[in-house]
Amino acid sequence: MGCMQSVSVKPNVYENIAILELNTSIDTNPTVIDESSNVVLRYRTPYFRAAARVQIPPVTSKEIWTVGWIQACNQMDFLNYYGEEGVSSWELPELKNGHSQAISDSDGVNYPWYGCTTEMFTIVGPTNRNTTLTVSMNDNFNPSVTWSVPTGTVSSPSLLSSIRRDQRFTTWLVATNESTAEMTLLRTIRWKMQLAISVDPKKPLGQRAQLLEPFTPDQPEVLTKNEPIPPNALVHPNANDAQMLIWRPTRGESVVVIPPKC
């Protein structure tokens, strides 16, 4: 599907679409820390999950309807501290400078949808009966953070001292009439992933990192009133392609370590 630049969104029109069941949660297990590599620290956060069972009335003409999940990142604070040397930061420039409210979190192919397997369902009309469908998605983070400063070499000393992350998302359940390019917002979910990890680089590998918070993540919120989808949440680039890694030393100029893909 191409970028949907001219989509009209109807936040409160349900077109007789029924949400039979909606479930969303974040797994209650804590973030898992992996120190098996002498190059990077890895961690894996709990999964955010959302699933909906939706009933679409008969499609009387040759229209095509798609029901699925659209997600956008609203905030991204992802900081890795290296003692007194400085801090590295994964950033979305458009969010950081305030030019955008949200960046698409699409898979980068099927804009604006989060994915194209369980995340969306397409109905090709005409149909002579109700169609009941289920769409589901999940999301988590499994990054790698270098033990040494990101501008160093593999033989550089381990100086990573702490990690802070606060990332926030809005996820919409949406029905789109592909024939008219009209979207109907069915539900809006807000969720966040926050964590703090302390690191003692002087300790032996496997004993350095400790999860400080949260041991139990906050659960998602299903809003009582749908929020509109910002235009940037529907089109290229997605968050993975737009993010960049910056090294900000305590002394000296900042360095772009990994530029945006787009």
The pLDDT tens digits for 62-73 are 999 999 999 999
**Residue 11 pLDDT level (bands cut at 50, 70, 90):** very low
pLDDT in tens, 142-192: 999 999 999 987 678 999 999 999 999 999 999 999 988 899 999 999 999
Exposure pattern of 119-147 as b/e (b: 16+ CB <10 Å)?
Answer: bbbebebeeeeebebebbbebebeeebbb
User: Is-contact 143 85, C-beta < 8 A?
Assistant: no
- Residue 233 sits at φ, ψ, to 5 deg, of -75, -10
**Residue 15 pLDDT level (bands cut at 50, 70, 90):** low
Looking at every residue in the chain, the average pLDDT score rounds to 92
- Those residues whose C-beta lies under 8 Å from the C-beta of residue 239, and which sit 6 or more positions away, are 73, 76, 92, 103, 104, 105
- Those residues whose C-beta lies under 8 Å from the C-beta of residue 50, and which sit 6 or more positions away, are 22, 23, 24, 69, 136, 137, 138, 171, 173, 189, 220
What pLDDT, on a 0 to 100 scale, did the predictor assign at position 213? 80
User: Is-contact 68 112, C-beta < 8 A?
Assistant: no
What pLDDT, on a 0 to 100 scale, did the predictor assign at position 60? 83
Least confident of 57-61, 208-212, 255-259: 57-61
Residue corresponding to tokens 């955010």 = 48
pLDDT in tens, 222-247: 999 999 999 999 999 999 999 999 99
